[in-house]
């Protein structure tokens, strides 16, 4: 668990100022976890660790109510919707459930209900016990029995419109069956993926070098929230219905009656759901489900108890963000102890170095665990940066006996060290300052938890991604040489470094196996490819700088650098000078000061550029490339075009060009591209499905044109 072995101070002993500091830290950490969980589908801590953080925050707020602010994580559920989907306001908010972690807390929950309802000593409120599916909550709005809108939970009040995606899920009926259909109803439940489907999907994704998901839940969320509905349709998503939001007439007056109705209406309801008549019954169900958990086929993270009578649910109502009539009884994370045999460093596609624990194999919750992520070097030291996973303040050493945990998720975690068992010979772990793959120096930026390899152009762990970036639209943009071809050529050893692109033809003329004989190629396509490569032997400085893939140097910063240095010779010699003066303490060179002084280039960008040039093999790769190409001054925008000086907004799903192409063409013509429509906007170019931006254009009286009109405008 995130903060376990070194017990944090008792809340009753906290002074107000200490509590305020901890409250702020916890709020920030929880928010960062929310964002990773809800918006990026990439959580870094287990649910149990997350729940522990939330519980502590709640306890601090209970003692110091003045610390509760409207944006405290206790006042909102999850995170605001990610960009890319339209927002939907839920007619009835989708609130979350309170948690219980022990039998006593469950008994207290029932007691609270009995007190609230003033039930007699021998009266037990019937309770429906439901497995708690670990998926993604959805709200489905039906009007006159027809599905009209589907939305994710989002922050509980506003979710994302995923109607088109949800229509591809077989378990979700488009039309409700039977009689007794309310005129308006919001059906709610969980989208999830079977464990075996998740494993098969990951295998396919890995083969295609596409996103690999950490667990079935992330896989379900990632599959649902796809802009391309065809991708969602190809994913094996399933849905269990279990509750509702707005309901114009209720077809039943109990929870179990409502579940039976949902089934008749065409939904899948979890078959294990049981009506319980006593606390013992409820706990028996919890233990039985706990035992069956591993063989259920889908992930659950606990059991939900709900008061069966709906009139009682209504009377019980809500406390802050959770219903008083329901609670989630969570499963404890499964843990085991084992020995840390070693720490390996993996280098990711962006140079991030991730430590991995090599463990003496041990069974945790029915699964053999021999590797666990250690996240970053602070995690090994037992400390944490803001928003990063934290352990217990004790550093990890090879030879240590450690506690390992699997909690719902597939990636196991090392949660704590058993200090009593530390061998005398165990030494503090020294995180490598060189990349284990290519030997380049590895640096950690201030405020960053991750150490990275600086060998952007030469590190084999990064090479393919860097090459794909090198040929991308805003960089070298070579026709016929996209990500797929780069991958093939890299796999066959034909293109390993940027310069290899420009020597491909020469080498091919001498090769025994010619490109034209490759599958999918021929005389003409190879000739076209070589011509496209030749056409890019002249490249503008800003594109070249962007193509190098230096950390933090995106399109905008590349332009700042190109404008300032004017030529590749100036840029290279200034950066080489700055790199030579680089020390642990800083950089006192004039060249560095000059770089750092460019408006818009701060310390982070300046340091990243200098680190790139401090790696001699990057400079060699650049020099090799320069022997094959000619670098032109930064591309000048056309000042005489019809759109020069205008501000343009592109909206809707563009069909004639990609968004990057649209932006590049507009900028070449001297226009500025903006993401939102205001009264300063001159022109809106709208593709199919354009929505709110069109309304904004109307409001501000901005001219709207089609993609074809745009092409005519810039070509004319
Ligand atoms: C899950 N996740 O399986 C609820 N849930 O009810 C079940 N969640 C729930 N019920 C009201 N079975 C709010 C959330």
Q: How far is the CA of 215 from the centre of ligand 1 (A)?
A: 19
Averaged pLDDT score across all residues of the chain: 88
Q: How far is the CA of 440 from the centre of ligand 1 (A)?
A: 50
**By mean pLDDT, which of 109-118, 521-530, 661-670 is the weakest?**
661-670
Q: Is the CB of 243 under 6 A from ligand 1?
A: yes
Residue 521 has pLDDT above 60, yes or no: yes
The β-bridge partners of 159 are: 88
Mean pLDDT of 502-516: 94
The beta strand positions in 413-499, using DSSP E, are: 413-417, 442-444, 451-453
Query: How confident is the model over 328-356, as pLDDT tens digits?
Result: 999 887 788 999 999 999 998 789 999 99
What is the per-residue pLDDT for 716?
66
CATH 1.10.150.20 corresponds to the domain 460-632: yes
Quote the tokens at residue 554: 């995106």
Q: What is the DSSP letter of 679?
A: T
- Say which CATH class 337-421 falls into: mainly beta
pLDDT per residue over 536-575, tens digit each?
999 999 999 999 999 999 988 999 999 899 999 999 999 9
Segment 260-265 shows an average pLDDT of 96
Which sign, positive or negative, has the C-alpha torsion 266, 271, 277, 280?
negative
- 196 CA from centroid of ligand 1 (Å): 23
Q: Return d(Cα 240, Cα 300) in angstroms, integer.
A: 12
**What is the DSSP-derived secondary structure letter of residue 175?**
B
Of 622, 624, 625, residue with least CA distance to 614: 622
Q: Is 289 in the pocket of ligand 1 (CB under 6 A)?
A: no
Confidence of residue 3 (pLDDT cuts 50, 70, 90): very low
User: Which atom number of ligand 1 is nearest to the Cα of residue 130?
Assistant: 12
* 132 has catalytic annotation: yes
Tell me, using a 6 A CB cutoff, whether residue 244 lines ligand 1: no
Q: Give me the sign of the Cα torsion angle 53, 54, 56, 61.
A: positive
For residue 384, what pLDDT is reported?
A: 65
Which ranges constitute the DSSP H helices of 293-366? 310-316
Band of pLDDT at residue 6, cut at 50, 70 and 90: very low
Q: Which of 345, 349, 334, 390 is nearest to 371 (CA)?
A: 345
pLDDT at 263: 96
Q: How far apart are CA 672 and CA 208, in angstroms?
A: 37
CA of 259 to the centre of ligand 1 (A): 12
Ligand 1 atom with least separation from CA of 240: 3
Q: Token pair of 635, please?
A: 């591309």
What is the token pair recorded at 645? 């000086």
| Atom number of ligand 1 nearest to Cα 95 | 13
**Cα gap 41→34, rounded to integer Å:** 10
Range of weakest confidence among 66-80, 176-190, 430-444: 66-80
Average pLDDT over residues 190-213: 85
Homologous superfamily of domain range 11-76: Helix hairpin bin (1.10.287.610)
Pick from 51-55, 116-120, 254-258 the range whose average pLDDT is largest.
254-258
Given the residues 132, 330, 468, 646, the one annotated as active site: 132
State yes or no: pLDDT of 77 exceeds 70.
no
For residue 243, the cross-strand partners are 188
What are the φ and ψ backbone dihedral angles of 347, each rounded to 5 degrees?
-110, 120
Question: 558: closest CA among 627, 502, 596, 609?
Answer: 609
Instruction: Give the tokens for residue 61.
Output: 């707020």
Which residue's alpha carbon is nearest to atom 11 within ligand 1? 243
Atom of ligand 1 nearest to the CA of 134: 2
Query: Using CA positions, which residue lies closest to atom 8 of ligand 1?
Result: 132
Pocket test of ligand 1: the residue of 128, 138, 328 to mutate, having most ligand atoms within 8 Å of its CB, is 328
pLDDT band at 80; cut points 50, 70, 90: very low
Q: What whole-number distance in Å separates Cα of residue 588 and Cα of residue 698?
A: 54
Contacts 24+ apart (CB under 8 A), 225-228: 225/41, 225/82, 225/84, 225/85, 225/152, 225/160, 225/162, 225/165, 226/165, 227/84
- Gap between the Cα atoms of 8 and 57, Å rounded: 12
- Beta strands 274-276 and 127-133: pairing type? antiparallel
Which ligand 1 atom sits closest to the C-alpha of 137? 2
| Fold classification of 100-330 (topology level) | D-amino Acid Aminotransferase; Chain A, domain 1 (3.30.470)
Q: Is the Cβ atom of 130 under 6 angstroms away from ligand 1?
A: yes
| Cβ atoms of residues 549 and 612 within 8 Å | no
224 CA distance to ligand 1 centroid (A)? 19
pTM: 0.51
Domain boundaries, the chain: 11-76, 100-330, 337-421, 460-632, 647-715
Q: Please state which CATH number belongs to domain 647-715.
A: 3.40.50.10190
pLDDT value at position 359? 95
DSSP state of 178: S
Question: Could you tell me if the CB of 128 is within 6 A of ligand 1?
Answer: no
Q: Per-residue pLDDT for 137 more than 90?
A: yes
The response to whether residue 453 sits with its C-beta less than 6 Å from ligand 1 reads: no
Looking at ligand 1, which residue's alpha carbon is closest to its atom 9?
Answer: 243
Checking if the pLDDT of 96 tops 70, the result is yes
DSSP for residue 636: P
Residue-level pLDDT at 81: 46
Dihedral pair phi/psi, residue 277, rounded to 5°: -115, 0
């Amino acid at each position: 668990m995130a903060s376990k072995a070194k017990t944090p101070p008792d809340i009753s002993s906290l002074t107000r100022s200490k509590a305020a500091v901890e409250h702020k830290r916890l709020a920030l950490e929880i928010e960062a976890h929310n964002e990773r969980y809800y918006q990026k589908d990439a959580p870094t801590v287990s649910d149990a660790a997350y729940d522990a953080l939330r519980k502590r925050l709640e306890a601090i707020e209970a003692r110091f109510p003045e610390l509760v602010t409207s944006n405290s994580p206790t006042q909102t559920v999850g995170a605001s919707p990610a960009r890319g989907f339209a927002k939907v306001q839920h007619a009835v908010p989708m609130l979350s459930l309170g948690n219980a972690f022990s039998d006593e807390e469950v008994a207290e929950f029932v007691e609270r209900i009995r007190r609230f309802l003033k039930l007699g000593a021998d009266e037990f409120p019937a309770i429906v016990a439901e497995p708690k599916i670990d998926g993604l909550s959805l709200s489905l709005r039906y009007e006159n029995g027809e599905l009209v809108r589907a939305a994710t939970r989002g922050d509980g009040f506003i979710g994302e419109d995923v109607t088109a995606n949800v229509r591809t899920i077989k378990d979700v009926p488009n039309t409700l069956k039977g009689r007794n259909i309310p005129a308006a109803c919001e059906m709610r439940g969980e989208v999830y993926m079977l464990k075996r489907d998740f494993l098969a999907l990951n295998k396919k994704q890995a083969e295609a070098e596409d996103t690999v998901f950490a667990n079935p839940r992330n896989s379900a969320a990632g599959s649902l929230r796809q802009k391309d509905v065809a991708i969602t349709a190809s994913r094996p998503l399933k849905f269990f219905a279990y509750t509702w939001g707005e309901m114009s007439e209720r077809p039943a007056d109990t929870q179990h009656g409502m579940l039976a109705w949902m089934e008749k209406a065409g939904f899948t309801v979890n078959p294990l759901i049981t009506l319980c008549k006593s606390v013992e019954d409820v706990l028996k169900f919890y233990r039985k489900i706990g035992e069956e958990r591993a063989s259920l086929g889908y992930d659950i993270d606990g059991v939900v108890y709900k008061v069966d009578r709906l009139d009682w649910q209504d009377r019980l109502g809500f406390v802050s963000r959770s219903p008083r009539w329901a609670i989630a009884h969570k499963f404890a994370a499964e843990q085991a102890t084992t020995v840390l045999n070693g720490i390996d460093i993996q280098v990711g596609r962006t140079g991030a170095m991730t430590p991995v624990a090599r463990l003496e194999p041990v069974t945790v919750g029915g699964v053999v665990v021999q590797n666990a992520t250690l996240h970053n070097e602070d995690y090994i030291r037992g400390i944490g940066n803001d928003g990063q996973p934290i352990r217990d303040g004790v550093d990890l050493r090879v030879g240590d006996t450690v506690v390992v945990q699997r909690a719902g998720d597939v990636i196991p975690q090392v949660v704590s060290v058993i200090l009593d068992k530390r061998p005398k010979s165990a030494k503090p772990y020294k995180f490598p300052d060189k990349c284990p793959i290519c030997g380049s120096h590895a640096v950690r930026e201030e405020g960053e938890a991750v150490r990275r390899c600086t060998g952007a152009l030469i590190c084999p762990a990064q090479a393919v991604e860097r090459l794909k970036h090198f040929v991308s639209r805003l960089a070298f943009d070579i026709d016929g040489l996209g990500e797929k071809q780069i991958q093939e050529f890299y796999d066959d050893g034909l293109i390993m470094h940027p310069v290899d692109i420009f020597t491909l033809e020469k080498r091919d003329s001498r090769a025994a196996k010619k490109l034209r004989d490759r599958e999918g190629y021929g005389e003409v396509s190879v000739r076209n490819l070589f011509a496209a490569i030749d056409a890019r032997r002249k490249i503008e400085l800003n594109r070249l700088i962007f193509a190098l893939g230096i950390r933090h140097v995106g399109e905008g910063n590349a332009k700042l650098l190109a404008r300032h240095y004017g030529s590749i010779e100036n840029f290279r010699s200034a950066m080489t000078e700055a790199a030579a003066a680089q020390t642990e303490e800083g950089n006192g060179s004039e060249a560095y000061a000059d770089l750092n002084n460019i408006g818009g280039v701060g310390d982070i960008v300046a340091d990243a550029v200098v680190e790139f040039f401090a790696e001699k093999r990057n400079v060699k790769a650049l020099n090799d490339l320069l022997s094959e190409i000619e670098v032109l001054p930064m591309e000048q925008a056309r000042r005489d075009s019809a759109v020069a000086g205008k501000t343009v907004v592109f909206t809707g799903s563009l069909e004639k060009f990609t968004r990057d192409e649209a932006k590049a063409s507009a900028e070449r013509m001297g226009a500025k591209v903006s993401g939102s429509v205001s009264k300063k906007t001159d022109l809106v170019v709208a593709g199919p499905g354009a929505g709110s931006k069109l309304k904004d254009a109307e409001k501000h009286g901005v001219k709207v044109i089609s993609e074809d009109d745009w092409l005519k405008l810039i070509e004319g």
